[in-house]
Structure 1
């Protein structure tokens, strides 16, 4: 990475300029540079300031899958705490079955059947190292103070001019780019300067979060805990990396009245101890604490003028009740990165990049809708819609909401509606709906018979993966394969386009893919031992099928083994040989 003291004498033109060097901005920049796009990240705070914050801690399964597909996960697994268990206590007694976090114990259909708990400062450190490994430009201590667009210029020109100030020297300099990304947090300058409304509200409720080394007589400590308190709401007990723990609780008006001089570290510690009663708690070390106000806001648009985009907290904020903040931001960054890359490279049609706003805004709105209820119930309050017994236990309703939102919380059930990318075709040949995540089925490597996961052999390389499921090895399917080959011999752009890769999934096992299939496979081949993959994806064994995966691993469309259908879909979103 370059020096943290940039001057106007350095490079001033980039494909993408990213304002904000938190985890979302770093992840976005890493992907862009990894895929061959020039990018510059500028963060107004120094690393030591960034690392002083505890902030986000939980990375859920779908997020882990996305990070794994980008080659980022291994160092995080080395540092983080893999949490597979939860516990709920009320009046010192364990509630069985538990409530709220129990979805962590029922994660299926993924290799990552756990929540990785890793404090944000470690996540950011890993991402900074990865950013350096791909040679991206990263500056600290510089603040964005202005930007503008020349709308008369084409999208492939450097139409965005942004102005930055070195916060130490007060020197100003300008950068030109094709796109400007605001990943600069809830108080985003990019969002405000672009005139994008931030819709929603802020409540009167406040929460405290405190991290440290803790000793307690609570029986189960290295599990995600919910301690149901009538004075401190639904108290969070989260085992952290490096043997630390986070305690989170509602800082109610009654509690605040005890401290007219405001909240200090000592107050945060004392009330954390009170929130855990009847268990005793002693803080051996305090690493970080915060008091913050709960609110839910979403940008009216996630992009403007086709050149300015928002990601992460710059586009949406919500409570930490469901621990979704960083996960949602990572999903933003992954969704946007490959679309930007393909657009900058001239491969994707404009409609592809336009799906970023519609897809991510719809997912975030779902989160905000139920986050409002979670935040109230965790503060031991009833949502306005609740018409039941007000003397009942709010923790019961909170548990029900978490149960219903389990697939959303893990991220495995997040899906997008039909659009330019997600095109629904025949549903009788494959059960996976376009815009949703396919099961991470196990396949077998030819020769070694080693097991490999589908999501591992289709990494995010800013490419679409055409998966040909061969079904039963009989003459009718062999004829379909031959017809597909003849089509490809004339439509060579389907195999020459760098944004398209092919794989063949063959039922059973064999000494070689050629012999098992009776012909040369399309791209690399893997065996589907026991036809499990065909079964899990609902593939018609008599006819086979094609599933085209987007770069982020979601299904773009499904169709029969027909060259025309494959070509129709890919040509509608990509420029191939034009």
Structure 2
């Protein structure tokens, strides 16, 4: 077997089953965080559907990818969409409905939806793995694995059996952990005995991509075409000048095609769904017919946290809110650093448990929300609706999307309190633990080049201690005390899992001078106008500390005091 210049071996820290975006992203992160990983994909990518599938990256997802150094190649190929349009009976609806939240994506440098088809996303990620020498094998299927959960944490507890579809031979691979990113029919989930709970409806949708000619006035915007026969039709501008049309394939439509759906049928009904606008396919790249289902695994881990699942292996839902790829990405980002630090013996096992709990909380919200969206998009009423049955379901659909703006963009997603998300002891801080902090702007000493906080605190699989120094004349005693404390606590100051950054309102030619004659904590960046302190709610006269998790979320906020830092990490870091 070959993958570029890589060849297989029989031991890895982590075996990843599934070579879609989530599995590839897991492997990329684990390598970045110092673990050996290997990806096994049962399909041959040359014969699998070339385009299609997931397409949309929302702001918070782009921020996470940017923190991992992945955003630039995606921005080079994708279509950045900032606008939306709604049509009803050929007339533009103003104000629009459904996708209008895309025009109000404030608070992020990535204030748009990046549209990039999955084929290109996977190509970028596979290239990153090849550059890093991470083994990736296609046409190889996991057909069995067993776990010895009683061995020490650093032991190879998992033995997996792989089938090479080309040679028809099987071989064994050992690992400390196995991650299933192998889709809705996940073998890993089933073999681990994890229940997959939820329901499947009779509703079916078609998605079709290609190069399209149309007389619709606005085409390079996310569109909602309100049809009574084909549901709330999706018009999505794609990368490379292509477009996606998505519509409901109702029982009434299906009855017209007793021989089933073909590409020709998908094109014909796509054109009908866009009426009264005319649509012609110059090229068809991909199409699919699928049934709507909302399901979630009972747990996202098993076998004493030796087996994990993420992405569609852990949850499935409609594409109505375009959250599938985003949710899977958030799974991978949440899990990777926890798994890496635990495997390196740095993180206590209780922290690893939080992966399943945190992600299930968000997925439960999504599935509840998606259930209503998929029904309304099919031009039907949810069971809870008791209003006028002759009313327009699309009005309610638009209201639901508008209320869920912060969830859709991902910027408002947060996790509840737990061992990682501890109550702020600096009451003035405006960010709740478990939430995304404001991406405030700091500047580089000397050149005063602007950098966002998320560019400063990149995701290297470590926690960030952000020391907001405040006015040095007023905080010098606290800063000196903090420096003395850390000098005596190498478990904090020298830990591979913790990095420090200083943000100072005072600015001089050198960081040493800006802090009144002392070295900064880690690298120094200037908050020249005090806006970063203000946005975060850190008092300029007393300063404060923000503890960021590796995934960029706030762990806790407290005073300029070493005891606060120690109390946060004492039950997290070994």
TM-score strictly above 0.5: yes
Structure-to-structure mapping, 1:178-577, within 5 angstroms: 178-305=176-303, 306-475=305-474, 477-518=475-516, 519-575=518-574
Deviation at 1:512, TM superposition (A): 2.0
- Assess if the C-alpha contact under 8 Å between 1:63 and 1:327 holds in 2: yes
Q: 2:424–2:432: 8 Å Cα contact kept in structure 1? A: no
| Cα deviation code 1:179-222 (max 9, x no counterpart) | 01100000000111111110000000000000000011111000
Partner of 1:108: 106
- C-alpha distance after superposition, 1:147-193 (max 9, x if no partner): 11112312210011111111122101111110011000000001111
Match of 1:46 in 2: 44
- Measured in 1, the distance between the counterparts of 2:15 and 2:74 equals 26
Counterpart for residue 93 of structure 1 = 91
* Alignment length (residue pairs): 572
Q: Secondary structure at the match of 1:49?
A: coil
**Superposed counterparts of 1:68-87, under 5 Å:** 68-87=66-85
For 2:372 and 2:193, the matched residues in 1 are separated by 29
Tell me, in whole angstroms, the C-alpha distance in 2 between the residues paired with 1:141 and 1:492: 47
Instruction: Classify 1:538/1:506 alpha carbon distance in 2 versus 1 (closer, same or farther; 3 Å).
Output: same
Q: Distance in 2 between matches of 1:534 and 1:2?
A: 52
Contact 2:230-2:249 within 8 A present in 1 as well: yes
Runs of 4+ with >3 A deviation = 1-7
TM-superposition CA deviations, 1:42-95 (whole Å, max 9, x none)? 000012134524100001111101111111111111110000000001111111
Alpha-carbon distance between aligned partners in 2 of 1:304 and 1:271, rounded to the nearest angstrom = 44
Secondary structure in 2 matching 1:37:
coil
Partner of 1:131: 129
* 1:513 Cα deviation after fit: 1.9
Give the TM-score normalised by structure 2. 0.98
**CA–CA separation in structure 1 for the residues paired with 2:402 and 2:451:** 31
Q: Secondary structure at the match of 2:401?
A: helix
**Rounded Cα–Cα distance in structure 2 between residues aligned with 1:5 and 1:316:** 34
- CA distance in 2 between partners of 1:489 and 1:508 (Å): 24
Cα distance change of structure 1 residues 390 and 309 upon mapping to structure 2, 3 Å threshold? same
C-alpha separation in 2, matches of 1:425 and 1:298: 32
Distance 2:108 2:424 in 1: 26
Of 426-435 and 521-530, deviating more is 426-435
Q: Secondary structure at the match of 1:373?
A: helix
Does the residue aligned with 1:572 lie in a helix, a strand or coil?
coil
Q: Is residue 6–residue 133 contact of structure 2 (8 Å, CA) maintained in 1?
A: no
Contact 2:49 2:286 in 1 (8 A): no
Cα distance change of structure 1 residues 151 and 494 upon mapping to structure 2, 3 Å threshold: closer
Aligned: 1:162 with 2:126: no
TM-score (normalised: structure 1)? 0.97
CA distance in 2, matches of 1:492, 1:43: 43
Unaligned runs of 5+ in 1: none
Q: 1:323 to 1:229 in 2, by over 3 A?
A: same
Equivalent of 2:141 in 130, 136, 143: 143
2 CA distance for matches of 1:330 and 1:448? 35
What does the per-residue CA deviation read over 1:379-427, in whole Å, with 9 as the maximum and x for residues that have no partner? 0010001111111000000001101111111111111001111111324
1:12 paired residue number = 10
- Aligned-CA RMSD value: 1.4
